[in-house]
Amino acid sequence: MKLVHEPDDGEEAVLASRVDLADSVLSQTRGLMFRRSLPDEYALAFRFDAPSTRDVHMLFVFVPLDVVWVDDGTVRRVERLRPWRGFARERADLIVELPAGAAEEVDPGDRLVLEDR
């Protein structure tokens, strides 16, 4: 699976060529906690059945993350969260966690798409 960024005014680009899905309660609860590093081109995606206000915390997360909240394919919020202290919330049916800097060019209103290879 890969994560593709489709900006409003530009060329699409692959943000992550390796995407893991947090598709169980355990994997969603754990997220990226306790990881000391993340590979380049990596993302962890949380898919939900319906949009709702979703929280992301950084407790026990040792690396900074770019977090993107997506609602029906459209980016609602992009936030860089610091280790241990970061917290943010937004309405979404998809949340994507990436290494810090990976979502530098992503803006609200852009599209983000998970694609099978």
Mean pLDDT, consecutive 10-residue stretches, the chain (117 aa), reads 93 95 81 81 95 94 96 98 94 97 97 91
Using the structure block, give the residue that is written with the tokens 């060329």.
Answer: 11
pLDDT at 31: 75
Q: Domains of the chain (ranges plus CATH)?
A: 2-115 (2.60.120.1140)
- pLDDT at residue 114, rounded to an integer: 95
